[in-house]
């Protein structure tokens, strides 16, 4: 209590990255999984999140489909709206990294420029781009959401890899080949990168 | 490795709230601080975040001014844009709560309807509305950002509490009177509520 509360000096206290790292035993970062529909982004992302949380870490998956129902529910699928979708998601991923969270993002994010902007917003030193790579044939063969079938039946016009471009990463931090490597091995390789980067203790 | 990787069963694994609570030693929630400019929202929010992180918790402050520079940089100050600003922030706060984080939100959020929607988006059972209350005279006397002075000089037209309404919470989860209570005591009262709610261990 103060007799002159209106004269209280309203001291601002900021929480440092170091204080968060100490509290959480990790550094915040963004693991950005990019690739075609069916390449395995969600599978690997979910597995990575589950494994990290089981090991006691603060990790969270930001998933393309989920965010379309909430934060980005007002956006459609025009190029402008797709860009805005990725912009918002990048901003949110940056906030999660600020909070010290290991943030796993699974978005097709087909354009080099979209991913460059994501890296720019998040900060290059804590942005890990992972190319989840499988051939179009393999992705279409899996077709977990039945989307390729709908494209072939003409129900979906614009679809990355078929009627719209996918620009593969030129120099990703990690290149996973999910047509020759299973999800467990892929997840382990991401964890290795997190250890090497000092985000997790080895 | 698999000989037939295209036939791998892409098992989805979900991370439960219980697993996160175990990893982090807390439950995710949103502490929504509402009140006039100068009432003390940021001061209390920053202090609360710092105290929680110092004690080893995963806590994060979502601040009105900061988000205006990033996620909501495309929005102006019309009523429609203000509503959209609060909607996006509510969605992001919900994601943070999903991640198990103690999420501190400091937004004037003057309208009952805005806060009701925030509660709806986040989920009532993990939404804690805190009315950061000080008289207009006290807030204007503090004027930490010099905004009230600019309003009085006619430089700002719409300003909550002077030329625009502030609808006080009818039944907040906590009512802080910052004209008679200092920021340290206010912060302690919020922490008490978190303990009572079982979000933190007492």
Domain boundaries in chain A? 26-196
How high is the pLDDT of residue A22?
92
> What distances in angstroms separate CA A116 from CA A90, A122, B41, B46, one per listed residue?
10, 10, 35, 32
Do B70 and A121 lie within an 8 Å CB cutoff?
Answer: yes
State the ipTM, two decimals.
0.90
Dihedrals φ, ψ of B126, to 5°?
Answer: -130, 25
Residue A131 and residue A170: Cα distance in Å, rounded? 10
Residue B33 and residue B42: Cα distance in Å, rounded? 9
DSSP per residue over A4-48, as a string? SGGG---------HHHHHHHHTS--EEEEEE--TTSSHHHHHHHH
Quick one: tokens of B153?
Answer: 């000089």
Quick one: tokens of B20?
Answer: 């996160």
* pLDDT exceeds cutoff 60 at A202: no
Residue A120 and residue A86: Cα distance in Å, rounded? 12
Q: Is B185 part of the contact surface with chain A (CB cutoff 8 Å)? A: yes
pLDDT of B44-81, one tens digit each?
999 999 999 999 999 999 998 889 889 999 998 888 99
A91 to chain B, closest Cα gap in Å = 5
Do A99 and B47 lie within an 8 Å CB cutoff?
Answer: no
pLDDT of A28-49, one tens digit each?
999 999 999 999 999 999 999 9
Q: Which CATH number fits domain B17-196: 3.30.70.2340, 3.90.470.20, 2.60.40.420, 3.40.50.300?
A: 3.40.50.300
CATH architecture of A26-196: 3-Layer(aba) Sandwich (3.40)
Q: In this prediction, what percent of chain B has a pLDDT beyond 70?
A: 93
* pLDDT exceeds cutoff 60 at A192: yes
How high is the pLDDT of residue A9?
43
pTM: 0.91
**Cα torsion for A198, A201, B2, B5, to the nearest 10°?**
-50
Q: Is A68 left (phi over 0), alpha (psi -120 to 50) or beta?
A: alpha
Residue A23 and residue A37: Cα distance in Å, rounded? 37
Which has more pLDDT, B199 or A34?
A34
Interface test with A, best of B68, B70, B123, B135 (most A CBs within 10 A): B70
* pLDDT exceeds cutoff 60 at A2: no
Consecutive H or E run containing A106: strand A102-106
Q: Which residues of A touch B100 (CB under 8 A)?
A: 58
Active site residues of A: 109
Scanning the structure block, which residue is given the tokens 């690997």?
A44
**What's the DSSP call for residue B77?**
S
């Amino acid at each position: 209590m103060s007799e002159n509360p209106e004269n209280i000096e309203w001291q601002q206290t900021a929480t440092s990255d170091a204080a968060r790292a100490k509290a959480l035993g990790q550094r915040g970062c963004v693991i950005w999984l990019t690739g075609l529909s069916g390449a395995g982004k969600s599978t690997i992302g979910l597995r990575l999140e589950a494994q990290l949380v089981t090991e006691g870490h603060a990790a969270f998956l930001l998933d393309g489909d989920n965010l379309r129902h909430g934060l980005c529910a007002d956006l459609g699928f025009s190029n402008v709206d797709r860009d805005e979708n990725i912009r918002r998601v990048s901003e949110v991923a940056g906030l999660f990294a600020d909070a010290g969270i290991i943030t796993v993002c699974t978005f097709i994010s087909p354009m080099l420029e979209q991913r460059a902007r994501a890296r720019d917003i998040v900060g290059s030193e804590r942005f890990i781009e992972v190319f989840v790579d499988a051939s179009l044939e393999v992705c279409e063969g899996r077709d977990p959401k039945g989307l390729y079938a709908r494209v072939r039946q003409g129900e979906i016009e614009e679809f990355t890899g078929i009627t719209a471009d996918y620009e593969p990463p030129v120099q990703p931090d990690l290149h996973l080949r999910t047509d020759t490597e299973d999800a467990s091995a892929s997840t382990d390789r991401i964890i290795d990168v997190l250890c090497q980067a000092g985000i997790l203790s080895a």
